[in-house]
């Protein structure tokens, strides 16, 4: 009869296999939650004779009310003051609160009839934007919808509960219409970011629009974030996104020809293109030019289009060694491409060993990989030629390892083929080793998509991209998105243009 210990072991194996099956099916699996260390830390502190020593080392307690603006001061006297008591001042207690209520203002515009029977009338203040809803209300609507991800039906109900008389149609208009000041500022973000950056992170995610599948591309780094939703996730689309930082250009130059040769465009076509002068601004004009030169093959047209877009970006000032960090998606493999180590390790981690020998081989490779990763982190802080050569040697040795697990060998071979992208930090120590920044930035867009679903109108899709870009860029510069919205809607411009903040931060950095 099996012992209790054997039954427990069998049940543990069954549970592990069930979780593995769920994982292979792409379903949600039980998360691994590490035990809390709070009880352990408190127990260790209790064993110490001086259990309060950790609290003493925390430094002085910060005053939470020192810099608060006080809107009202109320003096309170005791209910009964014994005879002979002496007044010793006040003990101040600050209570933070918020007032949410509607505020309706009636502007009485004086009208006068002049001697020539015409009329003159008082004018509404400039900051009212010519509508019957104030800028504070519009700021609140935009903040709730784009920052807090409140859906339109819930936002409508919230406003009505606060006493605002507004229809669902008018609410939709306030969310999508008359926001050119924000769209114009978003258009300047990418140009400013590319002009002062040595690298960018990029990623994309699904973004359905008008009932059809689409994609949203994120481009950014520590200085800015920029989003663009399109119907495609091709390399041409990505190059077009990069070109939106200034103006779209299709140029054939040395950089464009080098790219076409790298993509194995037939040599006969490259020779023909070397003598051509091309500088176009629209895709339709390029398509006509290709037709005129009898270039019909779909693959050839694609490579020439990609090369011409590369040439246009180079002509506008983007350096040929500009680094683009991604998760190994093919559409991002342009310029000097760098790969994310987290995604590279994920390929090894997802392998399913078939026996103990396979498990040991995978564990050994993962240990080597993370040791290399730690050494690269140290190298970034203090680069040296000797350490760089050692890292290269160990990386090549790891990738050339032959084990009994064929699938692992193939994964290592593929990693070895990506040596330049994974070890680019040895030549450029300022590069990050992972693409987490882009993952974090785009996660907020995904959360909005899951809550509100797809967009329907072009104005709605444009607004989602615009406010996602502005919000994330404000966050990177420590700006309150609420204060930013009010500043732009009121036309105060106390907050400098975000493009100026990007350039200033790059200069200070």
Q: Return the pLDDT at 443.
A: 92
Phi and psi angles of residue 141, each rounded to the nearest 5 degrees, phi first: -65, -50
Residue 186: how many other CB atoms lie within 10 Å? 24
Dump pLDDT digits (tens) for 468-495.
999 999 999 999 999 999 999 988 889 9
Q: Both 326 and 345 in a single domain?
A: no
Dump pLDDT digits (tens) for 215-244.
999 999 999 999 999 998 999 999 999 988
| Residue 127 confidence (pLDDT) above 80 | no
Whether 488 is covered by a domain: the verdict is no
Q: Looking at 332, 360, 394, which one is the last position of a domain?
A: 332
Q: Both 294 and 414 in a single domain?
A: no
Question: How high is the mean pLDDT of the chain?
Answer: 88
Whether 251 is covered by a domain: the verdict is yes
Q: Where are the alpha helices (DSSP H) in 76-151?
A: 135-142
Whether 121 is covered by a domain: the verdict is no
Task: Classify residue 214 by its DSSP letter.
Answer: -
Q: Both 230 and 319 in a single domain?
A: yes
State the average pLDDT over residues 377-395: 94
Whether 114 is covered by a domain: the verdict is no
Whether 410 is covered by a domain: the verdict is yes
Exposure on the CB side of residue 449, measured as CA atoms within 13 A: 19
Q: Both 328 and 345 in a single domain?
A: no
Q: How many domains does the chain have?
A: 2
Q: Both 397 and 347 in a single domain?
A: yes
List the domain range (segments joined by +) for residue 196: 187-332
State the average pLDDT over residues 396-419: 93
350-381 burial, b at 16+ Cβ within 10 Å, e below that, comes to: ebeeeeeebeebbeebeebbeebbebbeebbe
Q: Both 307 and 378 in a single domain?
A: no
Q: Looking at 381, 400, 426, which one is the last position of a domain?
A: 426
Whether 482 is covered by a domain: the verdict is no
- Token pair 């040296």: residue: 384
Q: What angle do CA 214, 217, 218 make, to 5 degrees?
A: 150
Beta strand pairing call for 111-113 and 323-326: unpaired
Contact 366, 349 (CB under 8 A): yes
Task: Look at 63-77, 353-367, 417-431 and tell me which has the smallest mean pLDDT.
Answer: 63-77
Q: Both 238 and 291 in a single domain?
A: yes
| Residue 205 confidence (pLDDT) above 90 | yes
DSSP code per residue over 484-496 = HHHHHHHT---SP
Q: How many helices (H) and strands (E) does the chain have?
A: 21, 9
Q: Return the pLDDT at 215.
A: 94
Q: Return the pLDDT at 482.
A: 95
Q: CA of 313: how far to CAs of 20, 256, 330, in Å? A: 46, 10, 19
Task: Classify residue 360 by its DSSP letter.
Answer: H
State the average pLDDT over residues 365-375: 94
Contacts of 147 (CB under 8 A, 6+ apart): 467, 471, 481, 482
Whether 323 is covered by a domain: the verdict is yes
Q: Return the pLDDT at 1.
A: 46
The residues that bridge with 111 in the sheet, in sequence order, are: 121
Q: Strand order of the sheet with strand 225-230?
A: 225-230, 215-220, 199-206, 323-326, 336-339
Q: Both 275 and 292 in a single domain?
A: yes
At 298 the three-state DSSP class reads helix
Helix, strand, coil percent content, the chain, rounded in steps of 5: 55, 10, 40
Q: Return the pLDDT at 28.
A: 66
Q: What angle do CA 66, 496, 239 make, to 5 degrees?
A: 125
Dihedral (Cα; 135, 140, 143, 146), 10-degree rounding: -90
Q: Return the pLDDT at 363.
A: 92
Q: Both 284 and 325 in a single domain?
A: yes
Compare 379 and 51 and report the one with higher pLDDT: 379
Residue 241: how many other CB atoms lie within 10 Å? 19
| Residue 340 confidence (pLDDT) above 60 | yes
Whether 89 is covered by a domain: the verdict is no
Exposure on the CB side of residue 242, measured as CA atoms within 13 A: 34
| Residue 25 confidence (pLDDT) above 70 | no
pLDDT more than 90, % of the chain: 60
Q: Both 285 and 355 in a single domain?
A: no
Beta strand pairing call for 119-121 and 111-113: antiparallel
* Alpha-carbon span 374 to 222, nearest angstrom: 22
Q: Looking at 408, 426, 444, which one is the last position of a domain?
A: 426
Q: Return the pLDDT at 331.
A: 92
Q: Both 209 and 315 in a single domain?
A: yes
Q: Return the pLDDT at 381.
A: 93
At 83 the three-state DSSP class reads coil
Q: What angle do CA 494, 495, 499 make, to 5 degrees?
A: 140
| Residue 168 confidence (pLDDT) above 50 | yes
Q: Both 192 and 326 in a single domain?
A: yes
Beta strand pairing call for 199-206 and 323-326: parallel
* Alpha-carbon span 41 to 200, nearest angstrom: 41
* Alpha-carbon span 170 to 304, nearest angstrom: 47
């Amino acid at each position: 009869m099996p012992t209790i210990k054997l039954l427990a072991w069998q049940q543990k194996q069954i549970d592990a296999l069930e979780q593995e099956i769920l994982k292979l099916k792409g379903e949600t699996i039980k998360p691994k939650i590490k035990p809390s260390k709070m009880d352990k830390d408190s127990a260790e502190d209790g064993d110490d004779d001086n259990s309060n020593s950790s609290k003493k080392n925390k430094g002085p307690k910060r005053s939470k009310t020192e810099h608060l603006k006080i809107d009202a001061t109320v003096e309170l006297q005791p209910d009964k003051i014994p005879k002979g008591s002496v007044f010793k001042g006040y003990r101040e207690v600050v209570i933070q609160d918020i007032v949410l209520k509607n505020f309706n203002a009636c502007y009485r515009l004086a009208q006068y009839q002049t001697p020539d029977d015409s009329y003159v009338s008082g004018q509404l203040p400039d900051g009212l934007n010519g509508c019957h809803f104030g800028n504070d209300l519009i700021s609140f609507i935009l903040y709730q919808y784009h920052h807090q991800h409140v859906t339109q039906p819930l936002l409508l109900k919230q406003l009505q509960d606060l006493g605002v008389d507004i229809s669902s149609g008018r609410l939709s208009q306030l969310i999508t219409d008359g926001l050119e000041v924000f769209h114009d500022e978003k258009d300047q973000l990418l140009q400013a970011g590319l002009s002062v950056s040595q690298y960018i992170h990029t990623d994309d995610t699904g973004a359905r629009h008008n009932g059809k599948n689409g994609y949203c591309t994120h481009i950014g780094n520590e200085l800015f974030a920029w989003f663009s939703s399109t119907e495609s996730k091709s390399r041409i689309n990505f190059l077009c996104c990069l070109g939106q930082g200034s103006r779209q250009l299709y140029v054939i130059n040395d950089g464009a020809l080098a790219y076409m040769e790298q993509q194995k465009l037939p040599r006969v076509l490259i020779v023909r293109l070397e003598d051509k002068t091309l500088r176009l601004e629209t895709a339709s004009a390029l398509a006509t030019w290709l037709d005129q030169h009898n270039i019909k093959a779909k693959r050839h047209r694609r490579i020439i289009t990609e090369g011409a877009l590369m040439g246009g970006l180079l002509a506008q000032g983007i350096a040929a060694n500009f680094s683009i960090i991604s998760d190994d998606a093919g559409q991002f493999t342009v310029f000097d491409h760098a790969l994310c180590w987290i995604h590279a390790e994920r390929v090894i981690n997802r392998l399913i060993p078939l026996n103990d020998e396979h498990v040991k081989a995978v564990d050994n490779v993962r240990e080597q990989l993370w040791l290399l990763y730690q050494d690269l982190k140290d190298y970034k802080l203090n680069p040296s030629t000797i350490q760089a050569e050692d890292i290269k040697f160990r990386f090549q040795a790891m990738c050339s390892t032959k084990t009994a697990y064929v699938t692992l060998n193939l994964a290592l071979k593929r990693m070895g083929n990506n040596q330049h992208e994974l070890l680019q930090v040895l030549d450029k120590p300022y590069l990050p080793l992972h693409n987490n920044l882009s993952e974090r930035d785009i996660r907020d867009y995904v959360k909005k998509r899951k809550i509100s679903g797809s967009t329907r109108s072009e104005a709605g899709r444009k607004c989602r991209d615009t406010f996602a870009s502005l919000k994330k860029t404000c966050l990177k510069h420590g700006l309150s998105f609420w204060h930013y919205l009010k500043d732009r809607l009121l036309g105060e411009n106390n907050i400098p243009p975000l493009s100026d903040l990007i350039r200033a931060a790059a200069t200070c950095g």
